[in-house]
Amino acid sequence: DKMQDAYDHLELMQREGVAPNQVTFTILIDGHIRFGETDNAIGLFNKMNASGCAPDRIVYNTLIKGLCKGGRLVDALSLSHTMHKRGFSPCKASYENLLSCLC
């Protein structure tokens, strides 16, 4: 499957000494979201944090989009709150996703 191919490529990248960064994690998180794998996206987000790679605004917005798409309003709102506490603001699309989820 495509996600496994992506993880195989990530493993190769790491073996060659290239550490994953926010862009790498955003691509993988978005892939999980596109395939309806919200729990995997959350797990990867947690792994990202644990590895010391701090999420940026794009990572937060991508995961908020996925949580809303998956009908996980409480989680999306919680992540939005965490995002604010860490000094980031959701983008317009994230606010629109949250509003759609609320309606």
Digit-coded pLDDT (tens) for 19-41 = 999 999 999 999 999 999 999 99
Mean pLDDT of all residues in 28-55: 95
Please give the distance of CA 21 from its chain centroid, rounded to a whole number: 12
- pLDDT-derived band at 1 (thresholds 50, 70, 90) equals confident
2-102 placed in CATH 3.30.950.10: no
% pLDDT > 90, the chain: 81
- pTM, rounded to two decimals: 0.89
- Answer yes or no: are the C-beta atoms of 78 and 70 closer than 8 Å: no
Break the chain into its structural domains and give their ranges.
2-102
Helices (H) and strands (E) in the chain, counts: 6, 0
